[in-house]
Amino acid sequence: MQNIGSTILRVVLGIIFAVHGFQKFQGGISYTADFFDSIGIPGFMAYVVAIIELVGGAAIILGFATRIFGALLTITMIVAIFTAKLSIGFIGANGLAGYELDLALGAIALYFALAGASSFSLDSQLFNKE
């Protein structure tokens, strides 16, 4: 039963990140780059983040390189919290989202960075490990 629950959690996490990464490109990555510049992060990092979210999300869905992408996505969420969200607060204010979702997604990604994928994953099939 734990493998099923872990797989469901992994797939949902992957979908969320993949959609967010895709949205950054679909909505115009230059807007995200401009936002990054406005908060003191070099604009080119928007491309790095979008690729990590899109590719990492797809890999997490498949359970491929789960620990690696879990770690990268955890780092992405930590940076997002401390650079863009912490000053807004946990719940948010003035129509801006707080860091509660980033914290939850980061914690889930950290779980997969530490625990790896379940037996229902490409990692398990390719490398005979969980």
- Assess if residue 125 is contained within a domain: no
Number of domains in the chain: 1
Residues 40-90: tens digit of each pLDDT: 999 999 999 999 999 999 999 999 999 999 999 999 999 999 999 999 999
pLDDT band (50, 70, 90) for residue 27: confident
List of residues 6+ apart from 7 with CB closer than 8 A: 63, 117, 118, 120, 121
The C-alpha atoms of residue 9 and residue 109 are separated, in whole angstroms, by 10
Q: To 5 degrees, how large is the angle CA 118–CA 124–CA 128? A: 135
- Assess if residue 11 is contained within a domain: yes
Tallying the residues shown for the chain, one arrives at 130
Q: Looking at per-residue confidence, does 106 or 130 come out higher?
A: 106
Structure tokens at 107: 């914690």
Q: Which domain holds residue 73?
A: 1-117
- Assess if residue 122 is contained within a domain: no
- Assess if residue 105 is contained within a domain: yes
Tell me which H or E stretch contains 92. strand 92-93
Tell me which H or E stretch contains 97. strand 96-97
Q: pTM for this structure?
A: 0.92
Query: How confident is the prediction for the chain on average, in pLDDT?
Result: 93
Q: What is the pLDDT of residue 130?
A: 46
